[in-house]
Amino acid sequence: MVPQHQPRSPVKRATLTQIAAEIGVSAKTVSNAYRHPDQLSPALRERIFEAAIRLGFAGPDPLASGFRRGSTNAIGFIYANPLSYAFNDEAAVALLAGISEIAEAEGFSLMLVPGTAAGERDPAGIGGAAVDGVIAYSIGSNDPVLAYTRRRGVPLVIIDQPVIAEVPHVGIDDEGAAFAAAAHLRELGHRRIAVISFAIEPRTESRTWSLAEWPDTPYTVTDRRLSGYARALRDHVLLDRIPVVASWGSNERLGYAATQGVLARTPGPTALLCLSDSLALGALAAAQDAGLRVPEDISIVGFDDIPSGRASHPTLTTITQSHGDKGRAAAGMLFGQLRGERVDSARTLPASLVVRDSTAPPPR
């Protein structure tokens, strides 16, 4: 029997007046910290936000300013990357298409609440957003926007990460899927393997660890995929000889740069495990620019099964999952909450290895 999420009672909100009294300013000044931040000094804004957190205040209630009917007919989508990520990352595009399909059927619009390239987050973005519910996509467990969303008390569903017991969640078995990817290389006979990863630590440009040990991370997906690789390979190779190069994001440029560093090692790897197809496509370009043949000289495995990976030369061996189904499942769970229904506490969608042309036995 699938555990179900119980409908929640609305969270009791602190008021602008209470925040204002706490730090000795007017209620209008507190409101401006959220709605017109350019009118206040950074120091004053910080004092207001600190008092708001202390009193459990998550920003002005948008329903009280022009939405007297009790619903905005909009849902929010929060994610850690810059705004453009929602339009140029193929996995994110498919995910948002799935969410939008359900939102349209419900007569709702969708508000994007992005992060920034620098990894900075302003919790006021969601605190003042006029939305009835929120879908959070692949953000760190320590992201302040997530904390503000939960304090605000609106219905919430999380896709991928983090995993929080009392919040409905949609994802895949990331560790199991990563195990299958690494086991494929193991069975082909590869021993010199490197990992091209997205973020392990927030706001870190690029760092290298090993598959034997990496730091505690607020990113559940990263941790589970690395754990799956390690579990598949630990009896086959020494994990401390497998470098894990982690960058702050997931795109071809970062995959290219990380792979250049890995290929400079002596001896170089005969296979790369990439935590996303975008990183893998960058790795593919870097390998080919270095004069290596894929898969004759080096094999590459991705994760996601985006359209570009199916059209690359060679086509990309990867983990397939349906991002559209993830979006539809999350949106369905969110609208179930908005209707006051009990919804599943978690949905685990299928993912599996697809072997294409980018992998082969290591060169002799």
User: Residue 64 pLDDT > 60, yes or no?
Assistant: no
User: Residue 105 pLDDT > 90, yes or no?
Assistant: yes
Please compute the mean of the pLDDT values over residues 128-151 and round it to a whole number. 86
User: Residue 261 pLDDT > 50, yes or no?
Assistant: yes
- More confident position, 121 or 247: 247
Tell me if 312 sits within 8 A of 285, measured CB to CB. Answer: no
Share of the chain above pLDDT 70, in %: 89
In the chain, the domains with their CATH numbers are 1-57 (1.10.260.40), 172-321 (3.40.50.2300)
Angle, CA of 13, 16 and 20, to the nearest 5°: 130
Residue 2: predicted pLDDT: 54
**Poorest-confidence range of 20-34, 68-82, 110-124, 233-247?**
110-124
Residue 315, both tokens: 């086509």
Mean pLDDT over the full length of the chain = 89
Dihedral angle of Cα 73, 74, 75, 80, to the nearest 10 degrees? -170
Residue 303, strand partner residues: none
Position 7 confidence tier, pLDDT thresholds 50, 70, 90: low
**DSSP alpha helices (H): ranges in the chain?**
16-23, 27-35, 42-55, 85-88, 90-106, 124-127, 144-152, 174-188, 220-233, 252-263, 277-289, 307-311, 323-338
Residue 150, both tokens: 């939960």
pLDDT digits 0-9 by tens, 302-331: 999 999 999 999 999 999 999 999 999 999
User: Residue 203 pLDDT > 90, yes or no?
Assistant: no
Tell me if 200 sits within 8 A of 213, measured CB to CB. Answer: no
